[in-house]
Amino acid sequence: MKIGFIGCGNMGSAMIGGILKNGVFEKNEIIVSNLTEEGSRRSQEKLGVVTTLDNCEVVKNANIVILAVKPQFYEEVIGEIKNFLTPQHMIVGIAPGKTLAWLEEKCEQPLKVVRLMPNTPAQVGAGMTGACVNDRVTEEDLDQILAITNSFGRTEVVPERLMDAVSAVSGCSPAYVFMFIEAMADAAVAQGMPRKQAYQFAAQAVLGSAKLLLETGMHPGELKDMVCSPAGTTIEGVRILEKNGFRSAVFEALQGAADKGKKM
């Protein structure tokens, strides 16, 4: 086995999905640990990877170990596995607030440490991941990590001080985007559109807008202005969004998420 996941819930399975789809590793090169037999059975059925109920088995069998449990379980899990870690291991944290220094300290030995902040669109190969590494991680190690994260979307290597911003702007933001889509669809349903169709229209509009921005490189304000005809329908909606503090609400939400990460 080459890569191991401790925990295989939403984020772990989304990452593994991309890795398998792009052939970065074969199923028999991936080991995951679960808390329960039921979890193991689900990982086997859904992903076909090797499973165990023993977190230490992951460390014994894989050089790259991804900690894919909720942040509050990090300390307990590291306590369990630390005696099996070697200088050849790369320990990868994906939780907000768990810094490179914190991970190194809890592992109680000099180690290669990586921090990633992926997001759930990884599940469909459209993820955005922020990455930073400690100074024991070589260029070759980093290339290996990037091959993994690029298999489920885009990756940017950033200074560690930006990881809370990454967490807010791409780690958490899918939740806010889904709230936006849901609200738009509710409004379309109120206008008489069937719900399923409303999700299609709303989601495709969000997907297309993001693609337009990324592919043209144009300023979002300019792209917004292209939609707003004088005395038209869109600018009326813009007026109402501004009146209701739309931009400020988004700003505060991301600020809150980033601040929370700093405290974790």
Ligand X SMILES: O=C(O)[C@@H]1CCC=N1
Residues that bind ligand X (CB under 6 A): 96, 167, 171-172
Q: Minimum Å distance from CB 97 to ligand X?
A: 9
Half-sphere exposure of 151 (CA within 13 A, CB side): 18
- Residue with smaller CB distance to ligand NAI, 103 or 188: 103
Taking alpha carbons only, the member of 180, 179, 131, 176 closest to residue 152 is 131
Residue listed under structure tokens 């890795």: 19
Looking at the Cβ atoms of 188 and 257, the one nearer to ligand NAI is 257
Q: Which is nearer to ligand X, 47 or 172 (CB)?
A: 172
Give the residue at shortest CB distance from ligand X. Answer: 171
CB of 189 vs ligand NAI, minimal distance in Å: 26
From the list ligand X, ligand NAI, none, which binds 9 (C-beta under 5 to 8 Å, kind-based)? Answer: ligand NAI
Give the CA distances from residue 127 to residues 116, 131, 173, 205, 244, in Å, rounded to whole numbers and listed in that order: 12, 13, 12, 18, 30
Instruction: Return the one option of ligand X, ligand NAI, none that residue 100 interacts with (CB less than 5 to 8 A, by type).
Output: none
Region of residue 177 (left: phi > 0; alpha: psi -120 to 50; beta: else): alpha
- Residues near ligand NAI (CB under 6 A): 6-12, 33-35, 39, 55, 68-71, 73, 77, 94-96, 117-120, 171
For the CB of residue 78, give the shortest distance to ligand X in the complex, in Å. 17
Question: Do residues 49 and 13 lie in contact, with contact meaning Cβ atoms separated by under 8 Å?
Answer: no
- Gyration radius from the chain CA atoms: 21
By beta-carbon proximity to ligand NAI, the closer residue of 78 and 188 is 78
Is the CB of 7 or the CB of 17 nearer to ligand NAI? 7
In angstroms, give the least distance from the CB of 11 to ligand NAI: 3
Nearer to ligand X, 49 or 172 (CB): 172
Nearest C-alpha neighbor of 200 from the set 221, 222, 185, 179: 185
Nearest to 66 by CA among 22, 18, 21, 23: 18
CB of 36 to ligand NAI, least distance (A): 7
Q: Could you tell me which residues come within 8 angstroms of residue 131 by beta carbon, excluding any fewer than 6 positions away?
A: 114, 115, 116, 117, 142, 145, 146, 149, 155, 156, 157, 158
Which one of ligand NAI, ligand X, none is in contact with 77 (Cβ closer than 5 to 8 A by kind)? ligand NAI
Tell the smallest beta-carbon distance from residue 48 to ligand X (Å).
26
Dist. CA 62–CA 55, nearest whole Å: 11
